[in-house]
């Protein structure tokens, strides 16, 4: 039984590290909204948005394992932009800018970070 607890504790510690890394990366990707979605210092490409969607699904799984049920708004806001930004890029000549695109489709102008878990900043 003790070995199982060690594995579970190790998995939770790994999930917490992954959570922090992914949250930082996802928050960075949407922090320039409504100007656009970022991949590092540059605007994201459609392919990069697809990678971010995959990463977002993994982040959602990590949040679920950690019992973070107050992250839905952040996750869905990110998802909206990661799904729509490629469409905007493909048709940007039809829009004044990404802000207009978001407004016309009733998307979120900003995606706020989720509330920090009480353990954030402490490694277990």
| Res 11 pLDDT > 70 | yes
pLDDT at 122 > cutoff 70:
no
What's 74's DSSP letter? H
pLDDT over 80 at 3, yes or no:
no
The sign of the torsion formed by the CA atoms of 97, 44, 114, 61 equals: positive
What average pLDDT does range 71-76 have in this prediction?
A: 97
Asked if the model's pLDDT at residue 5 lies above 60, the reply is no
pTM above 0.85, yes or no: yes
Cα 110–Cα 114–Cα 119 angle in degrees, nearest 5: 155
79-114 pLDDT, tens digit per residue, is: 999 999 999 999 989 999 999 999 999 999 999 999
- Residue 118 is predicted with a pLDDT of 86
pLDDT of residue 115: 93
């Amino acid at each position: 039984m003790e070995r199982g607890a060690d594995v579970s504790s190790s998995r939770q510690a790994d999930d917490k590290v992954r959570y922090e890394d992914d949250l930082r990366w996802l928050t960075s990707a949407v922090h320039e909204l409504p100007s656009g979605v970022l991949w590092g210092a540059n605007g994201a490409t459609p392919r990069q948005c697809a990678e971010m969607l995959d990463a977002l699904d993994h982040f959602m799984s990590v949040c679920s394992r950690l019992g973070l049920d107050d992250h839905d708004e952040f996750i869905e806001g990110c998802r909206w932009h990661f799904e729509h930004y490629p469409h905007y890029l493909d048709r940007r000549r039809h829009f004044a800018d990404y802000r207009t695109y978001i407004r016309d489709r009733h998307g979120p102008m900003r995606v706020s970070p989720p509330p920090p878990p009480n353990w954030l900043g402490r490694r277990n």
